[in-house]
Amino acid sequence: MEFTDEFQLTEKPLPIDCTVVKVKRDCKIKNEIGKIFRKHNIFEYKSPMDELNIDTFYKAVAYACLYKVLPNHVNEIPAEEITITLIRDRKPVKLMQELEKSGYECKKETVGIYYVSGVMFPVQIIASSELDVDMHVQLKALTNHLEESLMRQYLLRVSAFSEREKNLADVVLQVIVNSNMEKVQKWKGSERIMCEALRVLMADELNEERVEGRIEGQREGKIRAYASLVQDGIITVEIGAEKAGMSVDDFTKEMKKAGYIIPAV
């Protein structure tokens, strides 16, 4: 036998991709994705290049367990108020096979959404490429094999957003464009309506050098948004610094100060 004192489980902090807290406890969500939600809902998102495997599944369950025990008071977050959502572009067939071998049941709830029963928390797996395009165009657009019609529909939907929503959508658009750069370059000149939508959505960024006196809170929010993309390996430090309007040194300093991890080159 070997004994290890205070075995270090992780080398860095364990960030959850996203949590959604339902503020109004008694309300019911009719949305296909949201109807499983309870009070606390944990999301684990995998990019098209990443694998959603059995270890990812157990990691998400571990995150949910840690989330449940971290508050200051015993059972402050009851287990029955937690759900887990795993999202990937394509259906993780191998994962589902592994889960069924382990005694769990994977059942198709609706197109692109699969429920896993037998887990200590309600779990749903979302294959975004299978989702209905009219209902979930923004989630479907997060892919590295984007079709022109889907891009056009996404931009039309986002161009009607409020100003605050457009600022949030800008981060998503950066991910989409960076993942489909060659296609987007071709489409920009071939589709007038797409160009107009891009111009509306990207207005703040295109005019960034001419805009003065931005509110400090907006600047910090932009830095954090691009820092998160750098930490997840979606964009490089150099691109993040450029988009944030800063030098690489200043950008990395802000990342470290905010607690983000800078990936090793």
In this predicted model, what pLDDT tens digit does every residue of 57-91 receive, in sequence order?
999 999 999 999 988 888 999 999 999 999 999 99
pLDDT band per the 50, 70, 90 thresholds, residue 211: very low
Q: What's the average model confidence in pLDDT over 228-249? A: 80
Do 23 and 98 lie in a common domain?
yes
pTM given for the model:
0.69
| Residue 264: inside a domain | no
Note whether 183 and 194 are within 8 A (CB).
Answer: no
| Residue 53: inside a domain | yes
Do 71 and 147 lie in a common domain?
no
Structure tokens at 40: 């606390």
| Residue 154: inside a domain | yes
| Residue 9: inside a domain | no
Beta strands per DSSP E along the chain: 18-21, 40-45, 82-88, 105-110, 113-117, 123-127
Do 126 and 146 lie in a common domain?
no
Q: Please tell me the distance from the alpha carbon of residue 40 to that of residue 58, in angstroms, as a whole number.
A: 18
What is the secondary structure of 208-247 as a DSSP string? GGG-----HHHHHHHHHHHHHHHHTTSS-HHHHHHHHTS-
Do 137 and 105 lie in a common domain?
no
Note down the domain range covering 37.
18-130
40-45/113-117 β-pairing: unpaired
Q: Please tell me the distance from the alpha carbon of residue 100 to that of residue 109, in angstroms, as a whole number.
A: 16
pLDDT at position 171, please?
74
Among 94, 114, 130, give the residue marking a domain's end: 130
Do 196 and 223 lie in a common domain?
yes
Do 145 and 126 lie in a common domain?
no
Among 130, 162, 180, give the residue marking a domain's end: 130
Q: Please tell me the distance from the alpha carbon of residue 264 to that of residue 262, in angstroms, as a whole number.
A: 6
Do 160 and 246 lie in a common domain?
yes
The proportion of the chain whose per-residue pLDDT surpasses 70, expressed as a percent, equals 85
Do 126 and 144 lie in a common domain?
no
Do 86 and 144 lie in a common domain?
no
Alpha helices in 29-132 (DSSP H): 54-69, 93-101
Do 152 and 253 lie in a common domain?
yes
Among 69, 99, 130, give the residue marking a domain's end: 130
Do 89 and 165 lie in a common domain?
no
Number of domains the chain is built from:
2
pLDDT tens readout for residues 13-64:
778 888 888 877 778 888 899 999 999 999 999 988 889 999 999 999 999 9
| Residue 61: inside a domain | yes
Do 94 and 151 lie in a common domain?
no
| Residue 212: inside a domain | yes
Nearest Cα residue to 260 out of 230, 234, 238, 239: 230
Note whether 225 and 172 are within 8 A (CB).
Answer: no
